[in-house]
Amino acid sequence: MVQPQKTPSQHNSTLYISPLITNRHKDVFITPTNAKPVNSLFDSPNSNHSLFFHFDRSNNQSTHTVDLGGNTSNQPYEPLTQVEKLRLWRHDALMQHQYKTAEFIGDKVLSLTDDPRDAFWLAQVYFNNGNYLRAKKLLTRKLLYEKAVSCRYLAAYSLIKLEQWDEALDLIGETNPFVRDDNYQVKSDDGGIKLEASMCYLRGIVYANRNNFERAKECYKEACLVDVKCYEAFNELISNDLMNPGEQWQFINTLNFRDADNNDELIKLLYTSKLSKYLNGAKFEEADSILRDEFELGDNCDLLLNRANYLYVQCNFDECLEVCEKIIAIDEYNFDVIPDYLSCLHELGAKNKLFLKSHQMAETHPSHPMTWLAIGIYYVSIGRTIEARKFFSKATILSPNFGQAWIGFAHTFASEGEHEQAISAYAFAARLFPGTHLPNLFLAMQHLQMNNLGLAEEYLLAAYQICNTDPLLLNELGVLNFRKADLVKAELFLQEALVAAKNLNSDSRTWISIHSNLGHVNRRGHQYFKALDCFNQVLRISNKNDSNLLSSIALIHLQLGEYSTAIDTLHNALAIAPHDHVASDILTRALAANQEASGEFFQCANKQIGRLLLNGGLRQPLPPPPPPAQPLAPQNTALDQDPSEVAHRLQTGEDSSDEGEEVMEIE
């Protein structure tokens, strides 16, 4: 029986125990400059060799070997033993997903060697076949196996698949047992992902599923620090917003990209392009440009997705939709692009495309939570909130930590004014995404609607500490201070929102809302002409009349004393929304003010005319006064005369004189 070899170090990867790697040298994974591999791990499709490896071994022993970097060595090698040939057979079957073959051969190899490495690869067969419990039992069957780092890693992963969180944590430890002061500087000998980093990643998964997101974040960060090639941990940090935008950009500078050898620049650019787009837009543009031009990755779906995220943050939904559709044309089943794609369709009102996409996903992936998110968004877009809520709920059941579904679920309550339920759902989303400001922002908006200004301010300030560059957040801070009658702060935040929104599409609802709110602040501050400029700019950009906006414009004209203009504007507002109570109330006030002003005007005019008549100042006939006013008597008319007699004399011309100074028309 072959004696078991020494357990590999936690600084190595599973490549170290792979039967594909033979005659290893220390620099076997360092690619020389302009070197072309002689023997590739991947042969051409019409090759007669095995899928993943080929040994050019003749009966006569070769005098040189070829490593994976294309370097030749004059060191002779020994021919393959019986066990080594069985291991290669097992491994090739595993790579070709012929699990029965891999299990059959792997079981015999393990019986021959009793080596932890062979136990690991047989457990891999079980794991890939979905037999997680069987894999765990095998890897913990003997203390020799359990002591091997690779076996302990795979056993813990099997327990995670079985959702046995406590048992998995007991196996890998609550903290990193291998950590030392110089631990992060140790380089992997085989060029793979250090098992230590992978175990830190598993530890993060356990803590995340136990809703301890702060510990999960620390474990994911440690995994990246141990080995920058552990992308799984990095993706969890970024995609789940476990760090705020500032922390993300600081963290990227602490990573040791030298672990990626001569790919360090490429990996750093790829990681940088995935960071939050709320900060350092110029750095993202630079990284994206280098990746497209120098590395020729312009059509890579991952880079296109980063570009789509950047456009979505800028509310440039038209261009974002184009990029998303380009990704879907390349990779129809790329689920990473689905949230941005669905959001753009909803923002642009593309109901038919939403229906088509959700229908296709329901046919191809009926059990995927993203499918039910798509269906829920479609029902939101057609105004069927109750049905949308059911599908969002189903998505959260399939994936309890699906943050987008929780936010959509909360939106359905918020749209119907059910604030308590909405607040509960938003609060859970805030726990899932501690590094993003959006859940706190939505919570503040709910408290604003409930007039809980104190709680609204707390949530808005919490969101502001996470991200102070979001125009929507700055807009809500302006609204809060407007409600608190602090017009100076309100205008300050809204002006800051306009600066942050300089790259936004002017047709976006955020841009329109900021200008509209700034108009209200100017109106309340008696800066009427600045307010009218803001409102009219919104009307020009939005290309549609809004009854609330027209009512605000009418109110300004009313305050300026321009009653006729105010009345005309309010009639236009009521033509759009006949049951608008605000417009109706302002119109009533405008009509009353106009009538009162007209009465005062004519009273003043009549008094002035009377003084002119008494002083003989009029030389031309006057138009008849309105009915409420009394006719003026000429100076030579006695107030005690009978009106009928006066009228008879006037009709017969007895009291008429062409040379008289006063001429009066008879009513």
Residue 640, token pair as written in the block: 């005690």
426, 407 contact by CB (below 8 A) = yes
Per-residue 3-state assignment (H helix, E strand, C coil) for 285-308: HHHHHHHHHCCCCCCCHHHHHHHH
Cα gap 214→212, rounded to integer Å:
6
> Of how many residues is the chain composed?
667
- Domains of the chain as residue ranges with CATH: 1-17+77-172 (1.25.40.10), 23-74 (no CATH)
Element (H, E) at 611: helix 581-614
Cβ burial of 219 (10 Å; 0-12, 13-18, 19+) is buried
- Determine the pLDDT at residue 16: 65
Cα gap 663→32, rounded to integer Å:
114
- Determine the pLDDT at residue 177: 87
Question: What is residue 65's three-state secondary structure?
Answer: strand
- Determine the pLDDT at residue 601: 52
End-to-end CA distance of the chain: 131
- Determine the pLDDT at residue 192: 87
525, 555 contact by CB (below 8 A) = no
**Sign of the C-alpha dihedral computed for residues 247, 253, 257 and 262 taken in this order:** positive
Average pLDDT by stretches of 10, the chain with 667 residues: 48 67 45 39 37 39 42 61 93 94 96 95 96 96 92 96 95 86 66 92 95 94 94 95 93 92 93 93 94 94 96 89 96 94 94 95 95 96 95 94 93 94 94 91 95 95 91 93 94 91 70 89 92 90 79 90 90 88 88 79 52 42 42 38 44 42 31
Cα gap 555→561, rounded to integer Å:
10
230, 201 contact by CB (below 8 A) = yes
The type of residue at 630 is: Q
- Determine the pLDDT at residue 657: 37
**Residue 82 CB: number of other CB atoms within 10 A?**
10
Element (H, E) at 146: helix 143-147
**Residue 569 CB: number of other CB atoms within 10 A?**
25
- Determine the pLDDT at residue 622: 38
Helix axes 509-524, 471-483, angle to 10 degrees: 20
**Against a cut of 0.85, is the pTM above it?**
no
- Output DSSP code: residue 44: -
Q: Cα separations (Å) of 164 from 146, 158, 177, 195? A: 18, 9, 21, 21
Q: Cα separations (Å) of 475 from 442, 511, 521, 627, 646? A: 13, 9, 12, 52, 72
